[in-house]
């Protein structure tokens, strides 16, 4: 049964004060605040830009279901007469179809066994661009090595057919491997493994974390610490920036020098943005450009966990700098771009990036400028770690992290 609660969400003064605090491990020019941005988009309608920069909508929340360690969600195609249904993954290895009208959850059978532990387990899920005709989905998860290597781990991406959507026993069938992290390594952190299709549906983007090993992010012989770009069948596009030899693993790479990318999204102009967890400070919001190097672990606007310094991005101009950095960190865990659709719950957010925050327990709203710059418009204190946010058809849904993580819909006041 659907549980309905309401919560008035405001930003506390303590967070505003924290955002204005100086930190030795950040670049003060790029730490955002809760104030309205002074620079507006280039536009033929200056009045709209002013309005966008000053209005902060409030909302209540409705609870629809709870999960144990949910990680990702995506929406199934919706017809006019049917309720919205979401696919939700749990790190422990379960996949559910959620009816948002009733709150009922139906478990999907046939999910591959996952290596659960640390940051690993069942990860992201997205629909194939032609899902309406073939019911194919793409899923990421963590698997262990074989035999004596069973204490090593790596992310894997598969595609599968989701059958029995309208039955009590849906299942994944015709599972086909698409990609995997190479090599598998010890430890259970920084898999990243977010999935995203390009707006034209032709290319699959995969974020591949550096597995808390640092050096792989700059190593062109391994696919850790990279953003990967593939065709839908897992083959390598000929126009990838390092695709001179299709048997060379570097041919997969779109960009390099990443730490732990947990959110990727295309904006209304077709530009690719990604958020990235920094070390001790220095979380990033990046505009992703073909073939660029984003600098990790050579540069960062944060420090190592030990407290030792890392040179800032502005000391090494050959590396692409972030458009925003956060110190203290927000622990960004996903991105979704808000567009009106049939339901325009938050018109003030049109075209903005919505980001979920873990340690910050926040929903962060970011404005991407036509100039390629970006700024945080404001954030909302959600009172819990937020694992995922999804804007679909003008509605906004969030997943709380951890045990009994709630699926919430945001409703405008």
Q: Which residues are catalytic?
A: 190
CA angle (182, 188, 191) in 5-degree steps: 50
Max CA-CA distance within the chain? 64
Give the integer Cα–Cα distance in Å for 294 and 287.
Answer: 10
Q: Please give the C-alpha separations between residue 390 and each of 49, 63, 82, 104, in angstroms, as whole numbers.
A: 24, 15, 19, 19
Please, which residues have CB within 8 angstroms of residue 118's CB and are 6 or more apart in sequence?
Answer: 187, 188, 189
Nearest alpha-carbon partner for 357 in 337, 328, 391, 320: 328
Q: Please give the C-alpha separations between residue 213 and each of 27, 179, 225, 260, in angstroms, as whole numbers.
A: 24, 20, 9, 11
Residue 253, exposed/middle/buried by CB under 10 A (0-12, 13-18, 19+)? buried
The structure tokens listed for 260 are 């732990």
């Amino acid at each position: 049964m659907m549980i309905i609660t309401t919560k008035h969400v405001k930003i506390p003064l303590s967070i505003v004060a924290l955002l204005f605090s100086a930190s030795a491990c950040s670049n003060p020019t790029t730490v955002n605040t809760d104030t309205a941005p002074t620079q507006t988009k280039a536009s033929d309608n200056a009045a709209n830009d002013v309005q966008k920069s000053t209005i902060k909508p409030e909302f209540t929340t409705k609870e629809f279901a709870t999960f144990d360690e949910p990680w990702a969600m995506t929406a199934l195609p919706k017809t006019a007469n049917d309720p919205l249904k979401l696919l939700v993954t749990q790190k422990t290895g379960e996949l559910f179809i959620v009816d948002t009208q009733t709150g009922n959850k139906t478990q999907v059978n046939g999910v591959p066994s996952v290596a659960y532990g640390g940051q690993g387990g069942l990860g992201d899920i997205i629909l194939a661009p032609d899902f309406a005709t073939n019911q194919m989905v793409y899923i990421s998860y963590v698997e262990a090595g074989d035999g004596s290597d069973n204490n090593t781990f790596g992310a894997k991406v598969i595609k599968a057919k989701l059958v029995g959507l309208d039955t009590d026993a849906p299942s994944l069938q015709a599972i086909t491997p698409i990609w995997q992290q190479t090599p598998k390594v010890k430890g259970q952190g920084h898999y990243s493994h977010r999935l995203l299709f390009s707006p034209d549906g032709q290319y699959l983007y995969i974020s591949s974390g550096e597995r808390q090993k640092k050096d792989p992010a700059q190593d062109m012989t391994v696919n850790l610490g990279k953003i990967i770009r593939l065709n839908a069948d897992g083959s390598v596009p000929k126009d990838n920036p390092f695709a001179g030899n299709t048997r060379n693993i570097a041919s997969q790479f779109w960009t390099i020098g990443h730490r732990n990318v947990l959110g990727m999204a295309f904006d209304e102009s077709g530009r690719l943005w990604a958020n990235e967890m920094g070390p001790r400070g220095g979380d990033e919001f990046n505009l992703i450009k073909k073939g660029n190097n984003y600098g990790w672990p050579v540069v960062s606007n944060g420090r190592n966990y030990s407290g030792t310094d890392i040179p800032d991005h502005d000391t090494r101009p050959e590396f692409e700098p972030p458009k925003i950095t956060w110190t203290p960190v927000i622990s960004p865990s996903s991105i979704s771009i808000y567009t009106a659709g049939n339901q325009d719950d938050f018109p003030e957010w049109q075209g903005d990036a919505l980001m979920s925050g873990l340690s910050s327990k926040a929903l962060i709203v970011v404005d991407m400028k036509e100039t390629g710059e970006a700024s945080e418009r404001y954030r909302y204190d959600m009172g819990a770690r937020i694992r995922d946010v999804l804007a679909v058809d003008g509605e906004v849904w969030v997943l709380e992290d951890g045990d009994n993580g709630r699926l919430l819909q945001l409703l405008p006041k």
